A and B are shown apart, each in its own frame.
Chain A
Amino acid sequence: MDRRDALAKMFGAKGVRVNTNRGEAYYEKLRRTMEKRLNELRQTPAATKMDIQKALDAEGLSRRDFMKWASAITAMLMLPASFTPLVAEAAELMNRVPVIWIELQDCAGNSEAILRSDSPTIDELILETIDLEFNETLMAAAGYQAEAHLDEAMKTFKDKYLCVVEGSVPVGVGKEWCTIGAKGETFEEHLLRVAGDSAAVVAVGTCATFGGVPAAAPNPTGAVGVQDIVKGKPIINIPACPANPANITGTIIHFVLTGQIPELDHLNRPKFAFGYRIHDNCERRAHFDAGEFVEEWGDEGAQNNWCLYKMGCKGPMTFNNCSIVRYNSGTNWPIGAGHGCIGCSEPQFWDKYAYERPMADAHIKAPTGGVEKSVDQFGLGLLTAAGVGIAIHAAVSATAGKKDEE
């Protein structure tokens, strides 16, 4: 981060609170915007034959399941319950929202998280119905054919499509290792081109948002996040490794409904999803307060679902809603499964959060870049040095010092 950004951030950061009580007038106006927007969308032709009704039928899900889901999403977006029908309608119109999904330096884990479930959740089905114009992982086309399709989609939906990005952008010495397409565009060029004509950019997963694992020390490719490269476009960050499909859907639905991006925190993450600290909504929190910690995998504490803080849980420093919405339709989440949080939705998480011990015990590079020490080892070194200095001064004072006369 350069100095100017740092200074701007200094006093610019804001809390993560979302005001959920803005009065009748505000919500009435919002409803009218949304209705107008949905009307416009309904006029445009559906880009895919897939629609949510078909997807639900194919999975044997009922209208009732769908409406239950819609009310959950309404609550997640912090809208009053009366907005549920609008949210349901937006979901039905998802096949009219053009999306171009590009993939950069990553493991495709976010795509995988959405696609690979044997019983897809409604969130995942919604993402299946969007008008996905381009996606390297999914499409059949390759080479020039794929590129021609991308160009066409970008032209047809200029300034209308959402550019979803998965993966980090290498900009360091190794950036030429990563090229894409038949013309050998670097990832950076590819991103700038596709993001340039989009309505908004959605960075999905921690690699795309903050550089993620590829950016971990020593960051051989000089990986950075989308927001470090793309300027002058609305950018929404949906970090986590992988990003929660519920948060991706929520963000896209918000965009469909309002044509605007949701309220963001200082890291450009939607507040509706990242306005919660894991630790404050964790089911093991009572054990934290009681001082009951798992000390070792499989011990008495682990069998009793005690707090994972001493196993390196970073819930106290991590903002995300996994402890509330969980993953896979609320089936479970890492801490529920017995492993601490690794802070995957925070910047630099691999270097600064993902070690399996409390921060106080972790070996962290000295500020000089030298030997790795834990903060307590460094501190004890400091105390020893001070003690030795004092002892020498005391000894010399005693032998060679001069005491004032009484």
Chain B
Amino acid sequence: MKAGYKKVKRMTTFMRINHWVVAICMVAAVITGLYIGHPYYQTLIAEPAVDKYVMAWNRWVHLMAAIIFDVSSIVIAYLYFFSRFEKPILKLLPTPKNIVEFFAVFLNLITFNRVKKFDSSHADSFNTVYFLIFHLLLVWMLFTGLQLYVQGLESGHSSIGDWWPALLHWATDWTVAFTGGTNMDVRYWHHMSMYFIIVWVMFHIYYQVWRTIYWQEGDIAIAFGGSKFAKEK
């Protein structure tokens, strides 16, 4: 290790696995979601109905990605409060310290790293708030997506029992009233919210690269090796 630098651990193995699983599922959800909304490649050319479930496979992949999101979200929500590594909730509470830190990091971004008045070795409030936005968007996709899904379980039965559609109705029916009163509004907002997520991802990737270049602390490595390097004071 270069002199004057120390290694700081930022993501546990579990967090890194989760990160990449979510990233892969996100790409899969976008690709298959767009196909479900408007089937954009055609199967006219393919052989007759032998082993040809193009829409069914797209929906399968979409729903598999979705169920992984479901599980991941529950775990992440738990870790917000009970992580033994770093509890994100502590960085989200609007304490004076957190608010100052949030703006200090934001200032760093908009002054193109000319001003840097915070400790960049640990997870900061700005980053945590930014991730909270992502998690809220994902939860929103979950609620709307599960509402679209339960519409197809109108018999009230499912392979895992009647409790599942009943639970989904209880947990997601409000999205219909909330988005505008029809099933179509839920679908519209499910599709629309995808773009907000993509915008989020664009800035997320940009910011990680930018940090790596301007802070010179190897931030991008966090997602792979779990740690970065911070200058020793």
**Residues of chain A at the chain B interface (Cβ within 8 Å):** 1, 6, 9-17, 266, 275-277, 279-280, 286, 288-293, 295, 300-301, 309-310, 314, 316-319, 343, 346-348, 352-353, 358-361, 364, 375-376, 378-379, 382-383, 386-387, 390, 393-394, 396-397, 400-406
Contacting pair B185 A383 (CB below 8 A): no
Report chain B residues within 8 Å CB of A300.
44
Question: B37 at the A/B interface (Cβ < 8 Å)?
Answer: yes
Per the bound structure, the CA–CA distance linking A359 and B34 in Å amounts to 12
**Closest CB in chain B relative to A179 CB, distance in Å:** 30
Contacting pair A364 B188 (CB below 8 A): yes
Contacting pair A402 B54 (CB below 8 A): no
Contacting pair B37 A403 (CB below 8 A): no
A360-B38, A383-B199, A404-B113 known; A1 vs B49 contact (CB < 8 Å)? no
Report chain A residues within 8 Å CB of B173.
9-14, 266
Report chain A residues within 8 Å CB of B49.
286, 290, 292
Contacting pair B165 A15 (CB below 8 A): yes
Tally of chain B residues near chain A (CB < 8 A) = 62
Report chain B residues within 8 Å CB of A364.
188
Q: When the two chains form the complex, which single residue of A1, A317, A359 contacts B181, counting CB atoms closer than 8 Å? A: A1
Question: B130 at the A/B interface (Cβ < 8 Å)?
Answer: no
Report chain A residues within 8 Å CB of B14.
none
Which 10 pairs show the lowest CB-CB distances between chains A and B?
A: A17-B156, A291-B54, A379-B195, A401-B112, A13-B173, A360-B37, A10-B174, A289-B56, A317-B183, A291-B43
**Closest CB in chain B relative to A216 CB, distance in Å:** 13
Contacting pair B183 A394 (CB below 8 A): no
Contacting pair A290 B184 (CB below 8 A): no
Report chain A residues within 8 Å CB of B85.
none
Looking at B75-83, B92-100, B131-139, B202-210, the stretch in contact with chain A turns out to be B202-210
Q: Which among B43, B112, B180, B196 has the greatest number of chain A C-beta atoms within 10 A?
A: B112
Contacting pair A406 B174 (CB below 8 A): no
CB closest residue in chain B, given A271: B154
Report chain B residues within 8 Å CB of A386.
199, 202-203
11 A–B contact pairs at CB < 8 A?
Answer: A17-B154, A17-B157, A280-B152, A288-B55, A291-B39, A291-B53, A291-B56, A291-B58, A343-B184, A347-B182, A352-B185
Q: When the two chains form the complex, which single residue of A12, A16, A353 contacts B184, counting CB atoms closer than 8 Å? A: A353
Contacting pair A346 B166 (CB below 8 A): no
**Closest CB in chain B relative to A315 CB, distance in Å:** 11
Interface Cβ pair total, 8 Å cutoff = 180
Contacting pair A403 B184 (CB below 8 A): no
Report chain A residues within 8 Å CB of B103.
none
Question: B63 at the A/B interface (Cβ < 8 Å)?
Answer: no
CB closest residue in chain A, given B186: A317
**Closest CB in chain B relative to A352 CB, distance in Å:** 4
A359-B37, A397-B113 known; A15 vs B214 contact (CB < 8 Å)? no
Contacting pair B112 A348 (CB below 8 A): no
Report chain A residues within 8 Å CB of B42.
291, 293, 295
Contacting pair B216 A406 (CB below 8 A): yes
CB closest residue in chain B, given A301: B44
Chain B, 159-190, CB within 8 A of any chain A CB = 165-166, 169-170, 173-174, 176-178, 180-185, 187-188
**Closest CB in chain A relative to B116 CB, distance in Å:** 7
Contacting pair A11 B170 (CB below 8 A): yes
Question: B87 at the A/B interface (Cβ < 8 Å)?
Answer: no
Contacting pair A401 B177 (CB below 8 A): no
Report chain A residues within 8 Å CB of B183.
317-318, 346
